[in-house]
């Protein structure tokens, strides 16, 4: 017996929705699972939204990128420019550069899409980095989330790769210079370097295959990796449930949060639309990568200042700061770029990948299961190391722009470099130490600096419970 339903203003809509739901459920048995998920608890602190901004930036990238890919031509063959930008009229440029010029000057909304795409790429990496810092300083990478940490760092590397391959596609003078440096870094590896460089490019630099290969990396292989790993990252997150800040209500044995529907879904949808909005705003208002001013790539031309996109700045700084150490032992030359371009970044990323285990072994010394986030002050040692590490990266970043700084601040170029060489040692130690002391002071000195008073579930020797669904520790 149905009662008159006064909440529906359009009865047809409701009936249609129900019919659709029945149709799907008839085939997929969705009712029970959906019921459970509709009211899933989502810890909703605002700092948990950084990862979502990264995800939404990725969606914008995929959408705008598809549009760009429908115009871009990955070909190094020369054509004569015949478009409306007068200073390039008649100039012999690669078909790739020409396609980007056409997109920027002759396709309606083409320049907007290009700029949104590039700004989204920059913001994508910003969001990943800030998200990573949040996870790091709150200890949210601890068991059981080590796997997601590793996947996350892999995503960061893929984001670097997507950005580097992407901004090299227009074949302009700035990005071509960066490609040359990347190739030289490959070349520098002992024994296999020249072979790797020639395999990557299909011959000696610059060759004719490079744009096609970068293109496939950028539109097929890396996006597949990104989407796949993001999917895995989210699936693990759903399975393990999000961490939460501790409170009288929130413990290691529960999840306290906003329900998925309607609250969290609306928050996420709103954030998604805001991300599109902000990226479109900067995409329209701020010029980015004006390749028509740089001109097409010629291997015998270069200009200053020559910087890569921001997230490669640390590599650039390493190369500028590193001394001119090059030596030959028993006929094997170790080029001066090898250590700063290959070994040091390798070391940094190995440390970052391995951090959950480093943290467990030497800092917190517990391998219990943790679902409560910590405050930076709770683990002063980790916070000190983290702040020191971030400071080190910041100094190296600044070094990557040493010529821009030297000219803006009217200081000598070599002097700037030498000062930075000193700061690279002094500042991380200084700020790391200060952060450590501050954290200890905030925490109260009589507690452990390594956060060992929060052993989590399952303590030192992780023991499996003997009862299914045990909800008390």
Partner 1 sequence: MLPLVLALAGSAQLLLAGPVTAQADASRGATIFGTNCALCHGEGGRGGPDGPSLIGVGAASVDFMLRTGRMPLESPDAPMERRAQQVNDADRDALVAYIASLGDGPEIPDVSGLAGADLAHGLELFTSNCAACHGPTAAGVAVGQQDVSSTLDVAEPIEIAEAIRTGPGVMPLFGGEVLSDDDIEAITAWVLDLRDREAPGGLSIGRSGPVTEGFVAWIVAFGLLTIVMYLLGDKATDEESDDG
Partner 2 sequence: MADERGRPSSAGMSISGQQAEWQARAERAGRGARWAAISLLAAIGSGIGLLILYVQGGQTQLEGILIFMAFGSVALALGLWVRLVIGPDEVIEPRHRMASTEQQRGAFSAVYEDAVDEVVDGGRRRVLLRLLGAAAATLGLAVAFPLRSLGPGPAAELFRTAWRPGSRLVDQDGNPIRLADVAIDQAVTVFPEDAPRSADSQAFLIGTRPDAIVLDELKEPTAQGTVCYSKICTHAGCPVGLYRAQAGELLCPCHQSTFDVNRGAAVKSGPAGRPLPQLPITVDDEGFLVALGDFNEPVGPSFWNMTRDVADE
Question: For residue 146, what are its two tokens?
Answer: 């080590």
Task: Based on the shown chain and the rule CB under 8 A, indicate whether residue 246 belongs to the binding site for partner 1.
Answer: yes
175-194 binders of partner 1 (CB under 8 A): none
For the stretch 160-169, what's the b/e string if a residue is b when 16 or more beta carbons lie within 10 angstroms of its beta carbon? bbbbbbbbbb
Report the SS3 class of residue 287: coil
The enclosing H or E element of 43 equals: none
232-261 binders of partner 2 (CB under 8 A): 240-241, 249, 252-259
43-72 binders of partner 1 (CB under 8 A): 44-50, 53
191 binds, among partner 2, partner 1, none (CB under 5 to 8 A by kind): partner 2
Task: Based on the shown chain and the rule CB under 8 A, indicate whether residue 209 belongs to the binding site for partner 1.
Answer: no
Task: Based on the shown chain and the rule CB under 8 A, indicate whether residue 101 belongs to the binding site for partner 1.
Answer: no
As measured in angstroms, the least distance from the Cβ of 364 to partner 1 is 15
Angle at 124 between CA 417 and CA 206, to 5 degrees: 60
x/- map, 352-391, partner 2, by CB under 8 A = -----------------x-x--------------------
CB nearer to partner 1: give 146 or 403.
Answer: 403
5-44 binders of partner 1 (CB under 8 A): 44
Neighbour count for residue 409 (Cβ, 10 Å): 8
Angle at 298 between CA 106 and CA 163, to 5 degrees: 65
Segment interacting with partner 1, rule: CB under 8 A, options 299-307, 341-349, 353-361, 382-390: 299-307
Measure the N-to-C terminal CA separation of the chain; round to a whole number of Å.
48
Q: Are 73 and 98 in contact (CB under 8 A)?
A: yes
**Burial of residue 148, with CB atoms counted within 10 A of its CB: 0-12 exposed, 13-18 middle, 19 or more buried:** buried
Rounded to whole angstroms, the Cα distance separating 340 from 315 reads 8
As measured in angstroms, the least distance from the Cβ of 449 to partner 2 is 28
The DSSP 8-state label assigned to residue 80 in this structure reads: E
Task: Based on the shown chain and the rule CB under 8 A, indicate whether residue 460 belongs to the binding site for partner 2.
Answer: no
332 binds, among partner 2, partner 1, none (CB under 5 to 8 A by kind): partner 2
349-388 binders of partner 1 (CB under 8 A): 375, 378
Task: Tell me the C-alpha to C-alpha distance, in Å, between residue 363 and each of 356, 418, 430.
Answer: 10, 34, 20
Residues making up the chain, counted from first to last: 473
Query: By CB under 8 A, how many residues form the interface with partner 2?
Result: 111
- Cα–Cα nearest to 243, from 452, 43, 36: 43
Q: Are 296 and 172 in contact (CB under 8 A)?
A: yes
202 binds, among partner 1, partner 2, none (CB under 5 to 8 A by kind): partner 2
Segment interacting with partner 1, rule: CB under 8 A, options 27-35, 111-119, 180-188, 457-465: 111-119
CB proximity list for 207: less than 8 A, separation 6 or greater: 201
- Cα–Cα nearest to 456, from 143, 242, 141, 45: 143
Task: Based on the shown chain and the rule CB under 8 A, indicate whether residue 304 belongs to the binding site for partner 2.
Answer: yes
411-430 binders of partner 1 (CB under 8 A): 411-414
Segment interacting with partner 2, rule: CB under 8 A, options 26-34, 63-71, 300-308, 435-443: 300-308
312-351 binders of partner 1 (CB under 8 A): 313
CB nearer to partner 2: give 180 or 375.
Answer: 180
As measured in angstroms, the least distance from the Cβ of 352 to partner 2 is 24
Task: Based on the shown chain and the rule CB under 8 A, indicate whether residue 413 belongs to the binding site for partner 2.
Answer: yes
The enclosing H or E element of 5 equals: none
Q: Are 171 and 94 in contact (CB under 8 A)?
A: yes
As measured in angstroms, the least distance from the Cβ of 273 to partner 1 is 10
189-228 binders of partner 2 (CB under 8 A): 189-191, 193-195, 197-206, 209
Angle at 447 between CA 445 and CA 449, to 5 degrees: 85
68-97 binders of partner 1 (CB under 8 A): 86-91
Task: Based on the shown chain and the rule CB under 8 A, indicate whether residue 47 belongs to the binding site for partner 2.
Answer: no
From 60, 68, 113, 122, residue interacting with partner 1 (rule: CB under 8 A): 122
For the stretch 339-352, what's the b/e string if a residue is b when 16 or more beta carbons lie within 10 angstroms of its beta carbon? bbbbebeeebeeeb
263 binds, among partner 1, partner 2, none (CB under 5 to 8 A by kind): partner 2
Which residues share a beta bridge with 334? 327
As measured in angstroms, the least distance from the Cβ of 32 to partner 1 is 29
């Amino acid at each position: 017996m149905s009662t008159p339903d006064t909440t529906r203003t359009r009865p047809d809509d409701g009936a249609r929705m129900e019919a659709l739901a029945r149709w799907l459920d008839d085939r997929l048995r969705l009712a029970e699972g959906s019921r459970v998920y509709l009211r899933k608890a989502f810890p909703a602190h605002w700092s948990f939204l950084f990862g979502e901004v990264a995800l939404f930036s990725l969606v914008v990238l995929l959408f705008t990128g598809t549009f760009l890919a429908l115009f871009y031509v990955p070909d190094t063959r020369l054509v004569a420019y015949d478009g409306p930008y007068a200073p390039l009229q008649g100039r012999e440029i690669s078909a790739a550069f020409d396609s980007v010029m056409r997109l920027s000057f002759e396709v309606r909304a083409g320049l907007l899409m290009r700029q949104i795409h590039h700004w989204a790429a920059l913001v994508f990496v910003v969001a990943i980095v800030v998200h990573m810092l949040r996870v790091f300083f709150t200890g949210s990478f601890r068991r059981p989330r080590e796997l997601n940490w590793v996947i996350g760092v892999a995503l960061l590397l893929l984001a670097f790769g997507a950005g580097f391959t992407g901004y090299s596609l227009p074949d302009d003078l700035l990005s071509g210079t960066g490609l040359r440096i990347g190739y030289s870094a490959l070349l520098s590896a002992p024994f296999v370097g020249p072979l790797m460089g020639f395999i990557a490019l299909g011959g000696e630099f610059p060759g004719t295959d490079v744009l096609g290969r970068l293109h496939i990396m950028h539109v097929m292989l890396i996006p597949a990796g990104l989407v796949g790993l993001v999917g895995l990252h989210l699936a693990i997150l759903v399975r393990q449930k999000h961490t939460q800040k501790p409170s009288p209500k929130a413990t290691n044995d529960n999840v306290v949060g906003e329900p998925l529907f309607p609250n969290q879904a609306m928050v996420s949808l709103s954030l998604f639309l805001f991300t599109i909005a902000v990226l479109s705003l900067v995409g329209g208002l701020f010029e980015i990568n004006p390749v028509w001013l740089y001109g097409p790539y010629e291997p015998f031309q270069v200009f200053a200042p020559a910087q890569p996109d921001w997230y490669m700045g640390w590599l650039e700084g390493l190369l500028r700061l590193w001394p001119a150490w090059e030596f030959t032992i028993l006929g094997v030359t170790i080029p001066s770029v090898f250590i700063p371009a290959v070994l040091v970044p390798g070391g940094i990323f190995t440390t970052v990948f391995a951090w959950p285990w480093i943290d467990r072994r030497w800092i917190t010394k517990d391998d219990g299961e943790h679902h409560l986030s910590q405050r930076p002050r709770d683990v002063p040692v980790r916070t000190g190391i983290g702040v020191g590490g971030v400071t080190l990266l910041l100094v190296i970043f600044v070094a990557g722009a040493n010529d821009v700084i030297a000219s803006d601040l009217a200081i000598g170029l070599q002097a700037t470099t030498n000062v930075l060489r000193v700061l690279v040692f002094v500042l991380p130690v200084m700020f790391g130490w200060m952060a450590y002391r501050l954290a200890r002071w905030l925490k109260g000195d009589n507690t452990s600096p390594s956060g060992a008073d929060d052993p989590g579930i399952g303590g030192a020797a992780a023991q499996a419970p003997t009862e299914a669904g045990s909800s008390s520790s």
